Amino acid sequence: MVTVIAPTATVNRPTVAGLFLMTRFPEAGRTKTRLIPALGDEGAAQIQRQMTEYLVARFQRLRHSCQLGLEVHFAGGSLDQMVHWLGDRVCLIPQCSGHLGQRLHHAFEQGFIAGHRRILMVGSDCPGIGEAHISRALTQLDSHDVVLGPAEDGGYYLVGLKAPQPRLFESISWGQSCVLEETMAIATRHDLSVSLLDSLPDVDRPEDLPVWEAACRGASTVQ
């Protein structure tokens, strides 16, 4: 049975590290819009669908080895649509309204209230993230306030916390190439120690598609 949780609900989730995947329901014309000129509405939505499924499957395999509580935090679509799409493989939680910073803070806050001691938030557009990145992020949270996985476009593909840090998500130019730089500046200003993971590419623009194609080839080789 699928676990579906309202965004404001407090539930008794396991007191383990949380791995929260932020994604969007793959509605044509409303997702991966920067890929639409190259792939069309349906093609861009299909990439969103495939990358989310790819990471859900990968993270499911990490749940036991890394002792993780996996959740998918989604925007767009409805609970019924998400259940129809991802089935009973994962805990589904609607994102709250607001800009990305507000949604990130809310997801972290609710996760800590629910009992998680450490939380890693990752995006659905970085197929290169794997067990080594997750394990290192969890380890680095033992000695740092914040862990960030830099994306090659100037953002970040992962942010890890062990306590709520609402100021970390304020006054950020979301979607711009200065997101990581601005986040680091806020952390420094508020005396938060930061550990950086290896830089990885996102798949946001047509020129990024070879990254996704390479990930698909790698998955086929493993299978």
- Can you give the CATH number for the domain in which 91 is found? 3.90.550.10
Query: 69-78, pLDDT tens digit by residue?
Result: 999 999 999 9
Total tally of structural domains belonging to the chain? 1
**5 assigned to some structural domain:** no
Answer yes or no: is 2 within a domain: no
Predicted local distance difference test score (pLDDT) of residue 65:
77
Q: Is the pTM of this model over 0.85?
A: yes
Tell me the residue range of the domain where 100 lies.
Answer: 17-222
If you count DSSP H runs as helices and E runs as strands, how many of each does the chain have, helices first? 6, 7
Residue 88 resides in a domain: yes
Beta strands 119-123 and 156-161, pairing class: antiparallel
Provide the edge-to-edge strand list for the sheet that holds 119-123.
91-94, 68-75, 17-24, 119-123, 156-161, 146-150, 194-196
SS3 114: coil
Q: Is residue 48 part of a domain?
A: yes
Q: Assess if residue 6 is contained within a domain.
A: no
Specify if 167 maps to a domain: yes
Kindly give the parts of the chain with pLDDT less than 70. Answer: 1-15, 219-223
CA 98 to chain centre: 17
What pLDDT digit, counting tens, does each position of 113-156 carry?
999 999 999 999 999 999 999 999 999 999 999 999 999 999 99
Burial class (CB in 10 A: 0-12, 13-18, 19+), 39: middle
The per-residue pLDDT for 7 is 42
pLDDT reported for residue 96: 97
